[in-house]
Amino acid sequence: MRLVAGFFWLAATAAGHAAPAVAVSDGWARATLPHQDEGVAYLTLRSAGGDTLTGVDSPAAGMVMLHQTTQKNGVSSMEDVDSLALPAGKDVALAPGGTHLMLMDVKHALKPGDTLRLSLHFSKAGDVSVSVPVLPVSATGPRK
């Protein structure tokens, strides 16, 4: 498993039984400005035995959607994604310009230095809770 920056990776607890865990790394969210009610979070998922991400919640947002940025003929668009397959033993990165967690109806502006709690729902691993750092609006990756 990839080395995880422990200061933001609080816990990845499968729901109370010996379900196969999903490793979550490189998580971060982009800061929002006061007027913005949408935000975005990114992370990398890895399941040893294969799994499917079926949904995400956050106490900080009314709804979290899986979105994919698509580019066609130089035009950028966003598509809803119902679920995300995690092939066994492979890193699946949610990263700028690709698949991302879109936070809708953000309740309070996300400020750099805050942490964002996310609850990830997997078909096999159950619910996995993570906290990711909020980085400046200008951040483009987890290590900036």
Partner 1 sequence: MKRPHYLIGAMAAVIVLAGLAGAAVLLRPGGGSRAGGGVQIGGPFALLNGAGKTVTDRDFHGRFMLVYFGYTHCPDVCPTTLSDMATAVDKLPKASRARVVPVFITVDPARDTPAIIGDYAQAFGSEMVGLTGSDAAVAAVEAEYHVYAAKHPLAHGDYGMDHSSIMYVMGPDGGFLGVIGDGTKPAEIAERLLAFGA
- Contact residues for partner 1 (CB under 8 A)? 30-31, 33, 35-40, 62-63, 65, 67, 69, 71, 73-78, 80, 96-97, 100, 102-105, 136-140
Q: Of 122, 2, 98, 80, give the one whose Cα is nearest residue 42.
A: 98
* The CA-based dihedral angle spanning residues 99, 114, 64, 1, taken in that order and rounded to the nearest 10 degrees: 50
Shorter beta-carbon distance to partner 1: residue 103 or 120: 103
Work out the number of other CB atoms within 10 angstroms of the CB of residue 125. 24
Tokens standing for residue 43: 């992370």
Distance of closest approach, residue 27 Cβ to partner 1, in angstroms: 15
How are beta strands 84-86 and 115-122 bridged, if at all?
A: unpaired
Q: How far is the CB of 100 from partner 1 (least distance, A)?
A: 5
Q: Which is nearer to partner 1, 41 or 53 (CB)?
A: 41
127: three-class secondary structure by DSSP? strand
The first and second tokens of residue 40, run together, are: 């975005």
- C-beta closer to partner 1: residue 2 or 76: 76
Report the nearest approach of partner 1 to the CB of residue 16 (Å): 31
CB of 67 to partner 1, least distance (A): 7
Question: Smaller CB distance to partner 1: residue 2 or 77?
Answer: 77
Cβ neighbours of 124 (radius 10 Å):
15
If the CB atoms of residues 20 and 112 are measured against partner 1, the closer one turns out to be 112
DSSP state of 97: T
Minimum Å gap between C-beta 117 and partner 1 is: 18
